[in-house]
Structure 1
Amino acid sequence: MKNICVFCGSAKGNGETYLNLAREIGEKMVDLNYGLVYGGASIGVMGQIADSVLEKNGSVIGVMPKSLVNWEVEHKNLTKFEMVDSMHERKQKMYDYSDIFLAIPGGMGTLDELCEIVTWAQLQYHRKPIYLLNHEGFFTHLINHLEHAVKEGFLKPHHMKLIKVVDSAEDFFEDLKI
């Protein structure tokens, strides 16, 4: 079984759209025999995606630093929960457990994880696929910024291609079949 690492928010966002997206992704992952690797929280979009995978008897690995266990509310019912010492160790463990990376709506932590995994790919530390799900245009401003960074010479065009932008969960899973 391959694992998809999903970078997402511990908040739920406004409205139900982000929770619905997380549920859709989690259910489809199990249907296609993918396991979930994520930040280990029981709340927000993170909690929703984990719960949706677990409800269908899928595999979920959560990784969380000790300092966030009480603050972020760790998920108690995961297939595997790993407590680590730092955010750096968290990202390394998430990388180690994963075959594919998917960023969906979230905040600064989501952006941090996405940027670090793209940087590792840019430096040729890995060749694992990286996806950015631009649900309802959530990441459009980020995509525009990255294109501007290419135009201004701070990001090479081929590095921009390290991120595959998709507009829906359906597009993401279709692309995995290729």
Structure 2
Amino acid sequence: MDRHPHGKNQVLKPEDLTESFEPIVGQSVTLRTLRREDIDIEGSFLRGLSPETRHNRLLGGMIQITPEYLERLTTIDFKRDMAIAAALMLDGREVLIGVARYVLDADGRACEFALVISDAWQGRGIGRRMMEKLISVARNRALQQMHGEVLSTNSYMLSLCRKLGFAFGRNPDDPTVTRIVLKLS
């Protein structure tokens, strides 16, 4: 992977980010970068989300889970962006239970993040572990800020972001959305 133009002269390879851990309850979870070959399990993961989780993740919007959409989600330019998957083995096959990602802003100094955890695995510390990893990668790349938008009714995500040190603000264009920002440097 090439060095980020604003980086700390450290090159992170996708394989360097793999780790396994035991969540609060449940079996061992592996955090690793999302790969192009994950297209099928990413589709299964998204289709398995509850309507409420989809609503929270997409700020109330609905999406069609098309092959093109899945290809876009699993084709990551790791020189600019990052996507971390939480995976585990169930019945002899790997399944995704969460994805955390950021996309670099046009100026190359900040990024927008997103996080979604499978309903059955929420509240077990997986989202926090994924966000800590995502924040660490962004800091390693010397990004100055991470930001996102969260539905004001998504109390779990707002609580997690508060614990991680994000500052909160209102979106003047949409009072149902809270804008969150974390200074990284």
Give the TM interval when normalised to the shorter protein.
0.3 to 0.5
Report the TM-score when normalising by structure 1. 0.36
Greater helix proportion: 1
Greater strand proportion: 2
